[in-house]
Structure 1
Amino acid sequence: MKTRSVWTYRLIFAALAAAILFFALLPFGSGPGAIPGPELTVCLIAAWALRRPDYVPVWLLVLMLLLDDFLLMRPLGLWTLIVLLMSEYLRRRVDHAEALPFWSEVALVSGCIAAAFVANHLALVLLLAETPPLLGQALHALATIVFYPPTAIFSQLIGVRRLAPGELDSLGTRA
């Protein structure tokens, strides 16, 4: 795969993450008692990290996630660290995940998303920070899990596919 193609997909990822952030900043349904929406950036990161980890390098993830933290007024760096650890776990599972059927992949990512939300909540509690309601966080995690399959299918449709057996990524490695 040519370097130009890798950079094209990195730009596509950045544009998609920026579009998700833009719509997250719009004041739709953000009142008290509103049902929280999904964390689509996390879905996108998980789908791309499992399929083509060379398209989402760590520096790009840190940049996009810190921008999310700044603009969405979350504790700076906490969610970034948790999602980065999740993406690195998924990145290390690329060789194992290529043999998984789609619904097993969804189960793996669902467990990672649930663990990320639990880790975020526990970290906020341990730091004595203000925590959102637990039911709201559970619904937020559930919405994110529900939106992972469409995000993975969308990623496949725009060309972010798994490497075939024996195929090398842009860095000349298996993954």
Structure 2
Amino acid sequence: MTDRVTLLRWAFWGLLVAISAGLLFVKMLPLDLSAGRFPGPDIFMAVVVAWMLRRPDYVPILLVAALIFLTDLLYQDIPAVGALMAVIGLEVLRRREPGLREQSFVVEWGVVAAVLLAMLLAERFFLAIFFVDQIPFGRALLQFVSTVAIYPAVVFTSVFVLGVVKLQPGDDPVRSQAA
């Protein structure tokens, strides 16, 4: 029989796939998103980062990389670059997660903004080396700003609706999920 922690982990992995599929479906709808509009946030990346800093075991890196790679293929975007930057950024956050457990939300928000900005700049630099056409820098920066701006709402939803809370040192994952 499967224990509660493993079952919850698999449930959140499935929820991550469902969120990705839902966002993909909404983005592929034939809506009027003309060029003059403000670019929307990368909600999937905000969800993944929020979960990584609360429960890293709910965010399998290979699954996230596969979902981002599949999304890049479906949008006919440059494949693998976004997935590579996501893997690097998430691993940086995974290593910082124990130190951020006791920090305030403002510090966490700043670290997330710094990592997302570094991912954006690294991706643009990598693509520039190979002379790949990119969206204008201003538009990419606006998407970064909107993603950072929506991060508190994603964290609020993750914590108070889904129950993805930070584990404190010495916490038992089974008891923290039962509460």
TM-score normalised over the length of structure 1: 0.91
Structure 1 residue identity aligned to 2:170: G
| Alignment match of 1:2 (pick from 2, 5, 30) | 5
Checking the alignment, whether the CA contact within 8 Å between 2:46 and 2:154 is kept in structure 1 is yes
Structure 2 residue identity aligned to 1:160: V
Shift of 1:169: 4.8
Which residue of the partner structure matches residue 98 of structure 1? 101
| Alignment match of 2:51 (pick from 31, 48, 52) | 48
Which residue of the partner structure matches residue 127 of structure 2? 124
Structure 2 residue identity aligned to 1:37: G
Checking the alignment, whether the CA contact within 8 Å between 2:20 and 2:67 is kept in structure 1 is yes
Between 23-32 and 136-145, report the one with greater CA deviation.
23-32
1:162 lines up with 2:166 in the alignment? yes
Cα separation, 1, equivalents of 2:49 and 2:5: 23
SS at match of 2:171: coil
How many correspondences in the alignment? 170
Cα separation, 1, equivalents of 2:109 and 2:139: 22
Which residue of the partner structure matches residue 177 of structure 2? none
TM-score normalised over the length of structure 2: 0.89
1:137 lines up with 2:140 in the alignment? yes
Cα separation, 1, equivalents of 2:128 and 2:85: 15
Cα separation, 1, equivalents of 2:130 and 2:42: 23
Cα separation, 1, equivalents of 2:122 and 2:28: 24
CA-to-aligned-CA distance 1:67-108 (integer Å, 9 cap, x gap): 111112211100000011111111111110101101110111
- Identical counterparts, % of pairs: 29
Shift of 1:168: 4.7
Checking the alignment, whether the CA contact within 8 Å between 2:89 and 2:119 is kept in structure 1 is yes
Q: Which runs of 4+ in 1 moved over 3 A?
A: none
Which residue of the partner structure matches residue 173 of structure 1? none
User: Aligned-residue CA RMSD in angstroms?
Assistant: 1.5
Structure 2 residue identity aligned to 1:162: K
CA-to-aligned-CA distance 1:34-92 (integer Å, 9 cap, x gap): 21110111101100111111111112112211111111221110000001111111111
SS at match of 2:134: coil
Checking the alignment, whether the CA contact within 8 Å between 1:43 and 1:148 is kept in structure 2 is yes
